[in-house]
Chain A
Amino acid sequence: MAYSYLEFERPIAELTEKIDELSQMGADSEVNIADEVERLRKKRDKLVEQTYSKADRGQMAQLSRHPDRPNFLDYVPMLFDDFQELHGDRAFADDGAIVGGIAKFRELSVMIVGHQKGRNTKEKLKRNFGMARPEGYRKALRLFKLAERFDMPVLTFIDTAGAWPGIDAEERGQSEAIARNLMDLAVLKVPVICTVIGEGGSGGALAIGVGDRLFMQQLTIYSVISPEGCAAILWRDRKFADEAAEALKPTAKDLETLNLIDAIIPEPAEGAHRNPEAAAEMMADVLDKALRELLKTPVEKLLEAREARLRQLGVFNGE
């Protein structure tokens, strides 16, 4: 499979190419080529480690939308068994930008809901690049309520640039749809665990992001507005997206510092975009632990804690 590389991943790409060439030659050649390959591999590991751990916020934003980053539906078979997709909002349409259904997670039946950006051009169009319309949020809400009725925990997976800014979306009440989810998720009588697996873009992300736990994978961002959008408004030029990313502090580390997330889910050194299976395994462990904990919590305690958690959000002075 051909990989895509971001500009600042170029050196990794070049080194990888060199290693591949050498290894192909290696089969009918001197022994010292194997040593050389081994040396270059070590060098690459170090380079990979440095590239991602030292990525600035603008680069983190790019990584969160890396073309090779796994989508929600890539993770589903790695994390779950027996997935049964449930379609439609029962009122207007089935929005492909949000996918949901019932699945088994380590022997437990759970409701899963996530944004789906799409892998190739055809699927991206079908999914509207993961930017949901009101019917997408209303489908999600229908599934949340279904989960509540059958005492089924909810796992959501956030990966969207934001809600769809279109004429049709406004006509059908984009604002109302998002708002309703925020309100109803706050009192949903089953555990809700939310995980950012790529880009957490503003209200469109939050609409499936209110719950008892919020996790972010290591190379993801969560922001009130995209760096580009912020740059367009505050700098009046989208070219200042990197500056905006620095100012917005949207990385998993930033949100951890602000006490807004419960944990950062680690990714393999080469990133989820190069090793989705390892990333899925690391995610499964965190989700499993959180889920077992929440399943032991009586519903009154669960809701009390969720309410307190939401009530205390924000930083200000005065009484």
Chain B
Amino acid sequence: MSWLTRLIESPKSILSSSDSSSAPEGMWLKCPGCSETLYNKDLIRSKMVCSKCNEHLRIEAEKRASFLFDVDTFEEHDTTLKSVDSLNFKDKKRYKDRIKDANKKAGNSDAIRNYLGDIKGQITSASIFDFNYMGGSMGSVVGEKIVRGMERAIEYQCPYLLITASGGARMQEGVLSLMQMAKTSSVANRLNEAKLPFVCLLTDPTMGGVSASVAWLGDVILAEPKALIGFAGPRVIQETVGEKLPEGFQRSEFLLEHGLIDAIVDRRELPAHLKMLFEHLMHRAYRQAG
């Protein structure tokens, strides 16, 4: 089994997709970190973080948005964009059928959702990956949505927030998916020119083509605790070098130690953290002095 398949099938992703308002009382699951029984009602309150071991459970984009934005201030955008099977790609299954199945499983927004809303009063354009949708893989729709999220930030002169959760490029779109790395990275330059804050939050997992492009181009790179983040998958590396991988390899804490990310942020403190960060980045003391 490949590392990507294992990731997709790992117990973290068995969570139901019911949102906070419709979650039936008494629904529970076992924490993949400490095996503690966790009740859905409590989990929603703790933003799907285990109160016992601090495990940040994987969550879908919609739930993330509801945790991130101020109540009733946010709206999803660019929902009409749909993936096309332009290569007529078929492995054990047709890409067309994979899209259909993913739509059924994770909704019709492909592997990323775009939002505009307030984070503690600061209007923000955000793109949030959905790992439930084909492993959060980046194809043409994901690339286009990221670019539109950036362009929306420029239109509203507001920060752009990218929250990643992805196995990498979407192989079923062949080299078109590779080119999304170039496309998204190119448009990141326009945020720089506009002097608008671009913040990336890397969550479990962020790998391959997403990691090696737009995920690492923010002005500030944040990560959730213990997220798996890297270019090559651990199994591929293990097979290539034939060595045992170091303890905590490719986890957020490992990356922080190696100087690759700015900070690790607890999900429950994210909105407050972002608000302060955006305030700092947009204060422009020198320009005000002039």
Contact = CB atoms under 8 A, between A and B. Distances in A.
Interface of A: 163, 165-167, 169-176, 178-180, 182-183, 186-187, 202-203, 206-207, 209-210, 222-225, 229-230, 232-236, 243-244, 247-250, 254-255, 258, 260, 306-307, 310-311, 313-319
21 contacts: A163-B232, A167-B241, A167-B243, A167-B246, A173-B216, A179-B214, A202-B169, A203-B178, A206-B179, A210-B182, A234-B92, A247-B89, A258-B175, A260-B175, A313-B176, A313-B179, A313-B180, A316-B140, A317-B81, A317-B83, A318-B80
Interface stretch (B35-43, B111-119, B184-192, B274-282): B184-192
B215 interface: yes
Contacts of B216: 173, 175-176, 179-180
Interface in B191-236: 208-209, 211-217, 229-233, 236
| Interface SS, A side | helix
Contacts of B173: 224, 315
Contact of B91 (A203, A235, A313): A235
Interface residues on B, range: 35 or more
A182 B182 contact: yes
Given A170-B237, A222-B175, A314-B144, A235 B212 contact: no
Contacts of B232: 163, 165-166, 169-170, 174
Nearest to B246: A167
B175 A224 contact: yes
B142 to A, nearest CB: 9
Interface string B79-111: 011111011011110000000000000000000
Interface stretch (B1-9, B51-59, B265-273): B1-9
Given A315-B86, A318-B81, A206 B182 contact: yes
Interface of B: 1-2, 4-5, 80-84, 86-87, 89-92, 139-141, 143-144, 147, 169, 171, 173-183, 185-189, 208-209, 211-217, 229-233, 236-237, 240-241, 243, 245-246, 249-250, 258-260
